[in-house]
Amino acid sequence: MRDRVVGRIPVIECLRAGKRTARRLFVLRDARDIDDIREAARGVPIEESDRNRLDQLSGGVVHQGVVLEADALPLLDAGRWAKEDFPDQAVVAILDGVEDPHNFGAIVRSAAACGANAVVFGKDRSAPLSSAAMKSAAGAMEYIDLVQATNISRTIDDLKKVGFWVAGLDADADKTIWQADLKGRIALVVGSEGKGIRRLVRENCDFHLRIPLSGPITSLNASVSAAIAIAECLRQRQ
């Protein structure tokens, strides 16, 4: 199975990271300012195409004149992954029902940028690893472990056994992320855009945290909430 990586930044990061094999690079005929992409794609067949062909290949995602066909992203099995040795200050993001590909990709981008170790997501009720999600991640999926879980609650249990504290992001929580000690091994659970964390998953968290807000808007979307919480984990490790 193969992916189509769309857009200049996702494409060049995929080529540079070497996490998977690039099979063919499609570029817009007479495209400008892609010398760095051509350089990174040495040894990869390059096909010059017209805009209609690239539009078709990208599935409607803005392609900026480049589409890369590559092997599918490698996914780790949650059951095996949770038995690995983790650093003492490991940070993991757990996505419970995040189905919007733009939010999914943005969370992966924030996690990778802040040095998180992995992003865990469900086999069901999750955004697919689509071209849109990869575009929103801006190449970050090439640099962070992506872990697929059949059962999120079971994965949380497995992480607790190896010393993780599990914090659920909840707008109604009493405690804020500024008041919490987020050092050590931490797993942050982010719920779906509409319903939040599912009840059973919520009950399995060790504690719940909210992001304090003071304006007339009383909520943030999933990707922004995750970014703030992951960045706070990074701040506490400085």
Q: Structural domain boundaries of the chain?
A: 2-71, 76-236
How far from 36 is each of 12, 32, 40, 50, CA to CA, in Å?
Answer: 8, 11, 6, 20
Closest-CA residue to 169 (of 227, 127, 122) = 227
Tokens of residue 205, six digits: 């968290």
CB 182 within 8 A of CB 167: yes
Tokens of residue 55, six digits: 């539009």
- pTM comes to 0.95
Closest-CA residue to 177 (of 210, 213, 140) = 210
CB 108 within 8 A of CB 140: yes
Confidence of residue 42 (pLDDT cuts 50, 70, 90): very high
In terms of pLDDT, which residue wins out, 214 or 218?
214
Element (H, E) at 103: helix 101-113
Residue 230 CA to residue 68 CA, distance in Å, equals: 30
**Mean pLDDT on 120-132:** 94
Write the pLDDT tens digit of every residue in 61-118.
999 999 999 999 999 999 999 999 999 999 999 999 999 999 999 999 999 999 999 9
- Judged against a pLDDT cut of 90, whether residue 32 lies above it is answered with no
Tokens of residue 44, six digits: 């990869």
Confidence of residue 125 (pLDDT cuts 50, 70, 90): confident
Q: How far apart are the first and last CA of the chain?
A: 41
Q: Work out whether strand 207-210 and strand 165-169 pair parallel, antiparallel, or are unpaired.
A: parallel
In CATH, which superfamily holds the domain spanning 76-236?
SPOUT methyltransferase, trefoil knot domain (3.40.1280.10)
**CATH class of segment(s) 2-71:** alpha beta
CB 68 within 8 A of CB 11: yes
**Mean pLDDT on 8-35:** 95
Closest-CA residue to 174 (of 212, 227, 224, 205) = 212
pLDDT at 117: 98
